[in-house]
Amino acid sequence: MFTSKITGLGHYVPENVVTNDDLSKLMDTNDAWIQERTGIKERRHIKKGDGNSTSVMGVKAAKMALKEANLKATDIDMIVFATLSPDMYFPGGGVEVQELMDMKTIPALDVRNQCSGFVYAMSVADQFVKTGMYENILVIGSENHSGGLDFTTRGRSVSVIFGDGAGAAVVSRSEDDQGGILSTHLHSEGKHKDELALQGPSTEHWVPEIIAENPQEDIPYYPYMNGQFVFKHAIVRFAEVIHEGLEANGLTTSDIDMLIPHQANLRISQFIQQKLKLSDDQVFNNIQKYGNTTAASIPIALSEAHKAGKIKKDDIVVLAAFGSGFTWGSVIIRW
Ligand code: ACO
């Protein structure tokens, strides 16, 4: 078995800043409600005509990650692309990246695991590198939420939370048998699939059917979230899967140098921090600036934390996510 290591990180967010006050002009909401419930102050939204899309933002983050890894696009052996908001219903974003970056005819795999998408994607990359099948894998998480949210008062409990952006990591074969990605741990529980979901368009809710039958009131093509239910499950599963990962490597919470939780909601991150008795220095959050960017949130946060010098060689870094499905997972890394 080989070892696998993150050799480059990158992130990109659109320039257009949307504050809570900006949203209060579109719907009945306010800065105090949003900050108190979620910690979010502002988020980025793609602006019509700015050239961004889920795959384009993914490419921007990927180019930064490749530069840091000192690799060219043609050095990459596989793309793993995580998103819930692809540019097209099909094909997925992976092949768009392959084309936009002029890559070889390498495999492009799309991961549909929403907020856990990046953790699942990292796990896939880790397996392919550890078995020796591939040497360098580009893992991307990217989301264009603003294109599909309900910005009327009807959608306020969901639409204030989410933002657009992308993050990327290069996972490479490593000679260092002590460090790198130590393990990944993945889970799902499909009985809760309707608690955080976007039902259409899909084979059960095709667009003509929606338009013909329910033009005004039907909302399956806007995301639905049972917020309190999600909150309760998130705090349990986050803690569980972090402990699972630590125990598998003979580590405890005091060994964590940096926890990068999926940026679901600042209150969820704070709850987990308290539950695991971690100090402020052991947890990185940036949801205040970007909102919840789903599959992009962990790579954006990881890239920012790394660039800010908050992650050093030999640090134990834990990535953990929970989201729609429900699905959840963790990645334990010795940097
Ligand atoms: N602005 C103002 N008022 C609002 C808004 C808004 N944006 N959204 C909802 N409200 C109102 C509701 O209509 C309700 O009014 P009512 O009491 O008159 O009926 C009131 O605020 C309370 O609504 P709740 O939905 O009960 O609010 P809650 O305190 O549960 O907060 C929230 C909602 C923030 C979504 C919370 O449930 C939560 O944090 N859930 C966790 C889920 C989460 O963070 N998901 C992130 C995405 S999923 C993921 O990444 C895993």
Ligand 1: residue whose CA is nearest its atom 3:
29
Ligand 1: residue whose CA is nearest its atom 1:
29
Q: What is the pLDDT of residue 131?
A: 96
Q: What is the pLDDT of residue 204?
A: 75
What is the C-alpha separation between 71 and 10, in angstroms, rounded? Answer: 13
Residue range 108-130: average pLDDT?
A: 98
How far does residue 96's CA lie from ligand 1's centre (Å)? 35
Q: What is the pLDDT of residue 223?
A: 84
Q: What is the pLDDT of residue 208?
A: 63
Each residue of 74-94: pLDDT tens digit?
Answer: 999 999 999 999 999 889 999
Mutate to test the pocket of ligand 1, among 83, 116, 157, 187 (most ligand atoms within 8 A of CB): 157
Please list the residues that pair with 318 across neighbouring strands.
Answer: 259, 332
Is 231's C-beta closer than 6 angstroms to any atom of ligand 1? Answer: yes
What residues have CB less than 8 Å from 299, skipping those under 6 apart? 9, 10, 11, 61, 118, 139, 140, 141, 166, 167, 168, 169
- Decide: helix, strand or coil at residue 221: coil
Give the type of residue at 61: A
What is the C-alpha separation between 170 and 69, in angstroms, rounded? Answer: 7
How far does residue 84's CA lie from ligand 1's centre (Å)? 21
Using alpha carbons, list the distances in angstroms from residue 75 to 65, 131, 136: 13, 18, 7
How far does residue 335's CA lie from ligand 1's centre (Å)? 37
What residues have CB less than 8 Å from 265, skipping those under 6 apart? 37, 38, 39, 161, 231, 234, 287, 292
Q: What is the pLDDT of residue 220?
A: 63
Least confident of 131-135, 172-176, 269-273: 172-176
Mutate to test the pocket of ligand 1, among 29, 37, 152, 241 (most ligand atoms within 8 A of CB): 37
How far does residue 142's CA lie from ligand 1's centre (Å)? 24
Domains and CATH numbers, the chain: 3-178 (3.40.47.10), 181-334 (3.40.47.10)
Each residue of 185-232: pLDDT tens digit?
Answer: 999 999 999 999 988 877 777 666 666 666 555 566 678 899 999 999
- Residue 276, both tokens: 């695991």
Q: How confident is the model at residue 237 (pLDDT cuts 50, 70, 90)?
A: very high
Q: What is the pLDDT of residue 1?
A: 86
Q: What is the pLDDT of residue 217?
A: 59
Q: What is the pLDDT of residue 44?
A: 98
**61: enclosing H helix or E strand:** helix 54-69
Residue range 294-310: average pLDDT?
A: 98
How far does residue 225's CA lie from ligand 1's centre (Å)? 9
Ligand 1: residue whose CA is nearest its atom 26:
228
Give CA angle at 161 (90, 117), nearest 5°: 40
What is the C-alpha separation between 10 and 41, in angstroms, rounded? Answer: 23
Residue range 296-311: average pLDDT?
A: 98
For all residues of the chain together, what is the average pLDDT? 95
Is 275's C-beta closer than 6 angstroms to any atom of ligand 1? Answer: no
Q: How confident is the model at residue 177 (pLDDT cuts 50, 70, 90)?
A: confident
Residue whose pair of structure tokens reads 């990327």 in the numeric block: 168
Dihedral sign, Cα of residue 202, residue 166, residue 141, residue 293:
negative
> Which strands make up the sheet holding 136-143, listed edge to edge?
3-12, 165-174, 136-143, 78-82, 108-111
Q: How confident is the model at residue 27 (pLDDT cuts 50, 70, 90)?
A: very high
Mutate to test the pocket of ligand 1, among 35, 120, 198, 265 (most ligand atoms within 8 A of CB): 265
Is 264's C-beta closer than 6 angstroms to any atom of ligand 1? Answer: yes
Q: How confident is the model at residue 126 (pLDDT cuts 50, 70, 90)?
A: very high
What is the C-alpha separation between 281 and 227, in angstroms, rounded? Answer: 28
How far does residue 302's CA lie from ligand 1's centre (Å)? 27
**Three-state SS letters, 240-308:** HHHHHHHHHCCCCHHHCCEEEECCCCHHHHHHHHHHCCCCHHHECCCHHHHCECHHHHHHHHHHHHHHC
Q: What is the pLDDT of residue 149?
A: 92
Is 321's C-beta closer than 6 angstroms to any atom of ligand 1? Answer: no
Q: What is the pLDDT of residue 249?
A: 97
99 has pLDDT over 80:
yes
Q: Annotated catalytic sites, by residue? A: 115, 262, 292
161 has pLDDT over 70:
yes
Provide the pairing of β-strand 165-174 with 136-143: antiparallel
